[in-house]
Amino acid sequence: MSALPIIAISIGDPNGVGLEIILKTFQDSRLFERCIPVVYACVDFVEKQQALFHTQVPLGSMKEAPKQGLLNIATIWKESPEIAFGEQTAQAGTAAFESLQAAATVVKKGQANALVTAPINKAAIKSLDFPFAGHTHYLGALWGGNALMLLAHDTLRVALLTDHIPLHEVTAAITIDVITQKTKQLGQTLQNDFGCRVPKIAVLGLNPHAGDQGVIGNEDDTVLKPAVAALKKEGILLSGPFAADGFFGQKRYRNFDAVISCYHDQGLVGFKTLAFGQGVNITTGLPFVRTSPDHGTAFDIAGKGIASHVSFAAALQMACTIYNNRQKRD
pLDDT for 245:
87
pLDDT for 211:
67
> Which mean pLDDT values do the consecutive 10-residue runs of the chain (330 residues) have?
87 97 97 97 96 96 91 92 95 96 97 97 94 92 92 94 93 96 95 93 92 83 96 96 91 96 94 90 94 96 97 97 88
pTM of the model: 0.92
CA–CA gap between residue 330 and residue 324 (Å, rounded): 10
List the domains of the chain with CATH numbers.
Answer: 1-144+286-330 (3.40.718.10), 146-285 (3.40.718.10)
Q: For residue 260, list its beta bridge partners.
A: 159, 203
pLDDT for 167:
94
pLDDT for 79:
83
pLDDT for 217:
86
pLDDT for 89:
96
Q: For residue 72, list its beta bridge partners.
A: 38, 60
Contact at 8 Å (CB) between 41 and 325?
no
Helix/strand/coil percentages in the chain, nearest 5 = 45, 20, 40
**Run of H or E residues at 95:** helix 90-108
pLDDT for 26:
98
CA–CA gap between residue 312 and residue 7 (Å, rounded): 13
Phi and psi at residue 6, to the nearest 5°: -90, 125
Residue 210, by phi and psi: left (phi above 0), alpha (psi -120 to 50) or beta?
left
**Run of H or E residues at 60:** strand 59-61
Of the candidates 170, 148, 168, 169, the residue with the CA atom closest to the CA atom of residue 159: 148
Q: For residue 74, list its beta bridge partners.
A: 40
CA–CA gap between residue 197 and residue 200 (Å, rounded): 10
